[in-house]
Chains A and B, each alone.
Chain A
Amino acid sequence: MLYREAGDFSSTYAQDSQTFPIRFDRYRYYFVLAFAFLVVPFLINDYWANAILLPFLIYAIAAIGLNILVGYCGQVSLGTGGFMAVGAYACYKLMTAFPDVSMFVHVIIAGLITAMVGVLFGLPSLRIKGFYLAVATLAAQFFLVWLFNRVSWFYNYSASGQINAPERTVFGIAVTGPNTDAWATYMFCLIFLTLSAIIARNLTRGTVGRSWMAIRDMDIAAEIIGVNPLKAKLTAFAVSSFFVGISGALFFAVYLGAVEVGEAFGIQKSFLVLFMVIIGGLGSIFGSFAGAAFLVVLPVVLKIVGVDWLGWPTDIVAHFNLVIVGGLIVMFLIVEPHGLAQLWRLAKEKLRLWPFPH
């Protein structure tokens, strides 16, 4: 009923291969975009921005990045935290060295620097696969955190090793530092997320994405049919790290404002983003959004329900939180191993036939 294709004809190839081939779906997509860009900025307050929306937007970018590597190219990575740290520290060095340049430029350059570092650590993937590659990227994680803790040039020789984001602007509007408006930081991250998702979506359905998926599905067969594994794997590492770097830069500069590498970008961050990708759905851009939303919003909702509504002690709620989130993760993986994206896909299939399934 809702997702009816009747009367929805494609007369060109472009129409046939668009992201949202069903008209209803397409309108829903436009509606979500319009709502996010035109309505939310007028309703948002500090709490919504800093507690829910900013972490969701930023983790979604990281999840898109990791999904390209793990979900589309099949290269398991546990180095996401480390690559986010590269983005954050690159952004910090750029922000303090060139205070007059727009934040847009800083974040993008931070992403490019992370892409280069990612390629460097992606080189071992040409020789090793699977669990062994996971261990190699784990080494990247620990090495990068150690590096940013050890070399004081990265944190401008501050006494504590903390990096603090000074106030920087985009077209005269502050997006980092303490005096930002909620809508400005939200819009800044939203623009990056929208662009990242569009770029990622279009890369993954073009030549590059197909070569990644060929490598993922069977690397020897892919090589025989003419996919260059060197190029495919390294581009996957580069693109993935680019997005992860952008998310790291935003995480530090816009969201937290001050970070300490071991605490903010430790191994738990790598796992968190990996969980988002797995729960959301490997090899799906929508899955990255769903996974990020699940792991960012659910703890906050549980906290609000437990502490503010039911009035339970905070520690009990915090423990319940772990139990419920953990239990839900296990349940989702049993009920639907392909993640939330697959659930969504199934729901859409059902809706297409509803209410006459035969």
Chain B
Amino acid sequence: MKYKLGTMAIAAIMAAGPVMADLVFPSLSYRTGPYAAGGIPFADGYQDYFTMINARDGGIGGVMTRVVECETGYNTEKGVECYEATKGEGSLVYQPLSTGITYQLIPKTTADNIPMHTMGYGRTSAANGDVFSHTFNYPANYWNGASGAIKYLLDENGGDLSGKKIALVYHNSAYGKEPIRTLEELSKKHGFELSLLPVDHPGQEQKSQWLQIRRDRPDNVIMYGWGVMNQVAVQEAANIRFPMENFIGIWWSGSENDVLAAGAAADGYKALTFHNVGSDFPVFDDIQQYVVDAGEAAGAGDQIGTVLYNRGLYAAMLAAEAARTAQGIHGVADITPAMMRDGMEALEITEARMTELGMPNFGPAFKVSCENHGGPGLVGMTQWDADTKTWSMISDFGPSDMEVIQPLIDEDSAAYAAENNIASNC
């Protein structure tokens, strides 16, 4: 009996362990909790892309990919548990989709020599690859977003914002606070008046903030929200009849979940983006053929083509391309996390490559370097049409004000380097 149990245990271990070499992409997702509405489509998109790559191309460079999912619930403690649980599997790159978890993992991933990609979130100054060797936040970060919003408003107002009043409604956390410094600098530069309205987690209660907006009558409202906070804000804005076309959300406040609840009142609401929206790309045919029709779709399979699904897809595409780049650099198909880091640092996404992948103009073309882990910071603007229930791009990916952002990145990363005794990486 004992012998039998022992054999069974060994058999179980053999079955559970990897049969052959594979490329492991952990997905620290959150399908539960107050932020699940945003976490589910992203996780689905991330997973579906790798499922498609396995079925269509037979993996990356001939090596199959494997997505290991771990539920964080947007909670930092569970995030740590997930990181420790998955890092031993040979995880190539972490994408926690949470600024709080990112802050924790920056030192840990650096020590463990595993890269982390925080696409459009996390610590903005990680764009300085000289200090943050293992953290990447291409193609755009929070400060690009803040600057992109102001630039859009500048274009709208004929290049002059002096005397205008702009309010920032933000999630009162590390994430929401990120743009404040940039917006303050920009307000000095362009002469607009900035008012700050924090909303506490999870953001269901915003009556007082919107009462203040009603009283102050700002010309524009910029929002850095996530999860249930977004829907509430859009609804509150509709309630006080704030003109929706003057209301701009960051890319985390610009998905279908955020505007559908407010119905027709949300028509005209704008949100920044760093990737294209909609399902009008050849890649979605492949998703349909190899993933959906094969019955392999992640989650409930009902998120395909939504904004955050596209973002998950885009994140997976960038990860897969970086893995391919790494295979090219090192000439090894079964890469290690350290090789993956080199691949990410040498990543170049061109328009031609995106077309080849069935994603023409899906995101900006960009190039990562050792010094610049943040890419060029090109951001576009999308707008919600409540009648057709679709988001559409209303401005192409344009540059943000790096003149203001770069000194801030240098300052913040220098402070981090001094605090943690980090030597130059490049």
- Which residues of A pack against B, CB within 8 Å? 46-47, 50-51, 55, 96, 149, 158-162, 164, 166-167, 177-179, 255-260, 262-264, 266, 300, 303, 307-308, 313-315, 317-319, 322
Q: Is the CB of B76 within 8 A of A160?
A: no
Report Cα–Cα, A46/B83, bound state, in Å. Answer: 10
Measured between beta carbons, the chain A residues less than 8 angstroms from B108 are 178, 257
Complex interface: chain B residues within 8 A of A47 (CB) = 84-85, 88
Which residue on B lies nearest to A177, using beta carbons? B107
Q: For the complex, is B204 an interface residue (Cβ under 8 Å from A)?
A: no
Apart from A50-B80, A160-B175, A179-B111, what are 15 other A-B pairs with CB-CB below 8 Å? A162-B174, A178-B107, A178-B110, A256-B77, A256-B80, A258-B100, A258-B107, A262-B172, A262-B200, A263-B201, A313-B69, A315-B31, A315-B71, A315-B299, A318-B71
B420: A residues at CB distance < 8 A: 164, 166-167, 177
Some 6 contacts from A to B, beta carbons below 8 A apart, are A46-B84, A51-B81, A159-B124, A167-B421, A303-B71, A315-B31
**A260-B100 contact, Cβ under 8 Å, with A159-B177, A161-B177, A318-B71:** yes
Given A51-B81, A55-B77, A318-B73, A260 and B124 touching (CB < 8 A)? no
Specify which chain B residues have a CB less than 8 angstroms from the CB of A315 in the assembled complex: 31-32, 36, 40, 71, 299
B200 A159 Cβ-Cβ under 8 A: no
CB neighbours of A255 from chain B (8 A): 80
> Which single residue of chain B is at the shortest CB-CB distance from A315?
B31
Are A160's CB and B172's CB within 8 A?
A: no
* CB neighbours of B77 from chain A (8 A): 55, 256, 264
Which residues of B have CB within 8 Å of A262? 172-173, 200-201
Query: What residues on A are CB-neighbors of B180 within 8 Å?
Result: 159
Interface residues of B (CB under 8 A from A): 16, 29, 31-32, 36, 40, 69-71, 73, 75-77, 80-81, 84-85, 87-88, 99-100, 103-104, 106-108, 110-112, 123-125, 172-175, 177-178, 180-181, 198, 200-201, 299, 408, 412, 415-416, 419-421
Q: Which residues of A contact B416 (CB under 8 A)?
A: 164
A160 touches B70 (CB 8 A): no
CB distance from B73 to the nearest CB of A (A): 6
Chain A residues whose CB sits within 8 angstroms of the CB of B125 once the complex forms: 159
Name the residue on A nearest B298 (C-beta).
Answer: A313
**CA–CA, A307 and B77, complex, Å:** 18
Contacts of A259 in B (CB 8 A): 76
Q: A315-B71, A318-B71 are in contact. Are A162 and B84 (CB under 8 A)?
A: no
List of B residues within 8 angstroms of A266 by Cβ: 201
Q: Are A166 and B29 in contact (CB under 8 A)?
A: no
Q: Output the least CB separation between A57 and chain B (Å).
A: 14
Complex CA distance for A314 and B85, rounded to whole angstroms: 14
Interface centre among B81, B111, B299, B416 (most CB of A within 10 A): B81
Are B85 and A160 in contact, CB atoms less than 8 angstroms apart?
no
Residues from chain A with Cβ under 8 Å of B71 in the complex: 303, 307, 314-315, 317-318
Hey, which chain A residues are within 8 Å of B88, CB to CB? 47
Chain B residues whose CB sits within 8 angstroms of the CB of A307 once the complex forms: 70-71
**Distance to closest chain A CB from B415 (angstroms):** 7
Min C-beta distance of B216 to chain A, whole Å: 20
**What distance in Å separates the Cβ of A142 from its nearest Cβ neighbour in chain B?**
10
Whether A260 contacts B174 in the complex (CB less than 8 A), given A164-B103, A314-B69, comes out as yes
Chain B residues whose CB sits within 8 angstroms of the CB of A257 once the complex forms: 104, 107-108
Closest to A268 in B: B75
User: B residues within 8 A CB of A308?
Assistant: 16
Chain B residues with CB below 8 A from A314, complex form: 29, 31, 69-71
Contact among A178, A256, A317 with B76 in the assembled complex (CB-CB below 8 Å): A256
* Residues of chain A with a CB closer than 8 A to B100's CB: 162, 258, 260, 263
Contact A319 B32 (CB under 8 A): yes
> Shortest CB–CB separation between residue B203 and chain A, in angstroms?
11
- Bound Cα distance A221, B172 (Å): 47
How many angstroms from the CA of A164 to the CA of B104 in the assembled complex? 8
- The answer to whether A318 touches B31, judged by C-beta atoms less than 8 angstroms apart, is yes
CA distance A187 to B13 in the complex (A): 31
| Contacts A317-B71, A319-B32 given; does A164 touch B107 at CB 8 Å | yes
Top 7 nearest A-B pairs by Cβ distance?
A315-B31, A178-B107, A178-B111, A160-B174, A314-B71, A258-B103, A51-B81
Indicate if the CB atoms of B177 and A160 lie closer than 8 Å: yes
* One of B81, B104, B124 near A258 (C-beta < 8 A): B104
**Cβ contacts under 8 Å, A164 to chain B:** 103, 107, 416, 419-420
Given contacts A159-B178, A178-B110, A263-B201, contact A96 B85 (CB under 8 A): no
- Known interface pairs A257-B104, A319-B32; A161-B419 also in contact (CB < 8 Å): no
Q: Are B419 and A166 in contact (CB under 8 A)?
A: yes
The residue on A at minimum CB distance from B418 is A166
Inter-chain contacts of A158 with B (CB < 8 A): 412, 415
In whole angstroms, how far apart are the Cα atoms of A258 and B107 in the complex? 9
Q: Please, how many angstroms separate the alpha-carbon atoms of A315 and B69 in the complex?
A: 10
A300 to B110, CA, bound (A): 25
Given contacts A256-B104, A258-B103, contact A149 B76 (CB under 8 A): no
Cα distance A149–B111 in the bound complex, in angstroms:
29
> Which residues from A are CB-within-8-Å of B40?
315
- Shortest distance from the beta carbon of A49 to any chain B beta carbon, whole Å: 8
User: How far, in angstroms, from A264 to B107 measured CA to CA in the complex?
Assistant: 18
A257 to B108, CA, bound (A): 9
- CB < 8 Å: which of A51, A313, A319 contacts B80? A51
Are A159 and B181 neighbours in the complex by a CB distance under 8 Å?
Answer: yes
Output the least CB separation between B134 and chain A (Å).
10
**In whole angstroms, what is the CA distance A262 to B177 when docked?**
13
Chain A min CB distance to B371 (Å): 20
B85 and A149 form a contact (CB under 8 A): no
For the complex formed, measure the closest distance between the CB of B85 and the CB atoms of chain A, giving whole angstroms: 6
Measured CB to CB, the closest approach of chain B to A301, in angstroms, equals 12
Residue of A whose beta carbon sits closest to that of B112: A178
Which residues of chain B come closer than 8 Å to A177, judged between CB atoms? Answer: 107, 420
